[in-house]
Amino acid sequence: MKTLVIAAHPNMEQSRINKRFMEEIKKHSEVTVHELYREYPDEKLDVQREQQLLLDHDRIVLQFPFYWYSTPSLLKKWQDEVLSFGWAYGPNGDKLNGKEIIIATSTGGPEHSYVAGGYNKYSMSELLKPLQAMSNLVGAKYLIPYVFHKAMMVTDEEVEGGAKAYVEHVLSTKLSNY
């Protein structure tokens, strides 16, 4: 299975978590890592190239830090432009039907703050619903997300363990029950 990791971090070089996860997943030959902010510093997307990358892969991983309960802005722009009407959804918009999508994200807060009634009031499952809805709209299979919590407070050992768990998850996860 060919896997495409679309890594969207506005400052990957300064990232402790996403950078390490990306380094670890790059060790696998069946994985293509595509860094949006590095590829498009001017944020002008090559839509045809992006669509071709999606067509060339079976599993698509959207890897990003969780910003304001959503994705970084370039990943949102990528969704708006690349997953276009007539290509990804709508009449003849079936190019992603049957592909698999995994969300891989990191949060600054601890896991217990992302539960119903917790500090953020909602679970990660609830907060990721727009991305699951996107997956449904384009006919893709939404796989169980990978969430790494408390990114600002973890030890180096926890980062290493998280990187290994991330790779294992991305390469072996099954359909979501969300």
Q: What is the pLDDT of residues 134-152, one digit of tens each?
A: 999 999 999 999 999 998 8
Give the pLDDT score at 152.
Answer: 86
> What is the residue-wise DSSP string for 68-137?
TTB--HHHHHHHHHHS-BTTTBSTT--TTTT-EEEEEEE-SS-GGGSSTTSTTSS-HHHHTHHHHHHHHH
For residue 175, pLDDT beyond 70? no
At 27-73, the pLDDT tens digits run 999 999 999 999 999 999 999 999 999 999 999 999 999 999 999 99
Rounded to 5 degrees, what are φ and ψ at 156? -60, -40
Over residues 87-107, mean pLDDT: 97
Least confident of 44-48, 96-100, 113-117, 127-131: 113-117
Is a pLDDT exceeding 60 seen at residue 178? no
Name 32's Cβ contacts closer than 8 Å, sequence gap at least 6.
2, 3, 4, 5, 53, 56, 57
The correct answer on CATH 3.90.280.10 for the domain covering 3-172 is: no
pLDDT at site 173: 72
Spell out a b/e string for 139-164, using b for 16 or more CB atoms within 10 Å of the CB, else e: ebbbbebbbbbbbeebeeeebeebbe
Pairing of strands 3-7, 100-106: unpaired
Q: The tokens of 162 are what? A: 């998280």
Residue 113 has pLDDT above 70, yes or no: yes
- What pLDDT sits at residue 174? 66
Q: Kindly tell me if the per-residue pLDDT of 22 is higher than 60.
A: yes
- Take residue 124 and report the two structure tokens written for it: 């990660």
Q: What is the pTM of this model?
A: 0.94
Q: What is the mean pLDDT of residues 78-84?
A: 98
The residue behind tokens 């039907």 is 97
* Across 159-174, average pLDDT: 92
CA atoms of 5 and 143, how far apart (whole Å):
14
